[in-house]
Amino acid sequence: MFYSFDRNIDISDYNGKGEFRIDSILKVFQEAAITHSASIGFTTESYMGAGNIWMHNKNLFKVDSLPDFKQKLTVKTWSRGMEKFRGIRNYEVYADGKKCITGSSIWIYLNIAKRRPIRPSDEMVAVYDSENVPVFDDMIKTIKHVEPSNDITEKLITLRPSDIDVNGHVSNVVYGQFIETALSEYNIDITNRFVSLSYMHEIKPDVQEVSVKTEKVGNSYKLGIYSGEECACLAEVSDV
């Protein structure tokens, strides 16, 4: 089942150049998953009422062109399939009818109280009616991130109360803001490049700041986001 919706313009999703930001792309992916699920009867409230929730494990996207705030955005999403406790979801974003962003993600079905993965029910798997349509040849399945070198200078970022979501940790969308902040000094253009993230550990509300390490390796940028000594997320901007 393919699901599409038109997205209302939110001026806060654009940077000083009027272009869509990395965290805004992650926000659209999250909105797509939530609205698609709700349309087939699986609302966020119903999930949490049952004590389970889908949580991000990995994100991958490639930008053909960054939409600006004057363009109408249409989002298309579909379930690629579910294996054990993992689900793959794909995305296409169109600006004024032209595809500008393609993405893929892996989600983990988690018991909230135990913080452990569980299998979705057969009914849930059937209702999502997955499509056998990969993007990037299912590259999301094989992504393996490497931490940046230890001797790389860290950038410290203070956390805000608004960074915490309803699941009681820093939202996966906010990691896009961390990446934008860390990459700002390099003045790089992410168009026609792959941006990928692997979420490793939760950042809890009592954490006051995170550190971000960025290492340039050839034409790629490897990033690590840390809560103290613990790596919360690894990311990369690369040509492949």
**What is 2-140's CATH topology?**
Thiol Ester Dehydrase; Chain A (3.10.129)
Identify the pLDDT of residue 140. 95
pLDDT in tens, 46-99: 776 678 888 889 999 999 999 999 999 999 999 999 989 999 999 999 999 999
* Band of residue 135 on the pLDDT scale cut at 50, 70, 90: very high
Q: Above 70 in pLDDT, residue 30?
A: yes
The CATH number assigned to the domain with range 154-238 reads 3.10.129.10
- Cβ proximity of 210 and 232 under 8 Å: yes
Structure-derived torsion over alpha carbons of residues 237, 224, 181, 170, reported in degrees to the nearest 10 = 120
In which band, very low, low, confident or very high, does the pLDDT at 110 lie, cut at 50, 70 and 90? confident
Domains 2-140 and 154-238 fall in the same CATH topology: yes
Asked if 210 and 178 touch (Cβ cutoff 8 Å), the reply is yes
Residue with tokens 């340039």: 216
Ranked by mean pLDDT, the top range of 107-111, 146-150, 206-210 is 206-210
Span 174-180, mean pLDDT?
Answer: 96
For the chain, give me the number of helices (H) and strands (E)?
Answer: 4, 11
3-state secondary structure 168-222: CCECHHHHHHHHHHHHHHHCCCCECCEEEEEECCCCCCCCCEEEEEEEEECCEEE
Q: Domain ranges for the chain, please list them.
A: 2-140, 154-238
Q: What is the pTM of this model?
A: 0.94
- Output 186 or 226, whichever has higher pLDDT: 226
According to the model, what pLDDT value does residue 112 have?
81
pLDDT at 212: 97
Quickly list H helices, the chain. 22-39, 44-49, 122-128, 172-183
Q: What is the mean pLDDT of the chain?
A: 92
pLDDT of 44 above 80: no
What is the 3-state secondary structure of 215-235?
A: EEECCEEEEEEEECCEEEEEE
pLDDT at res. 48:
65
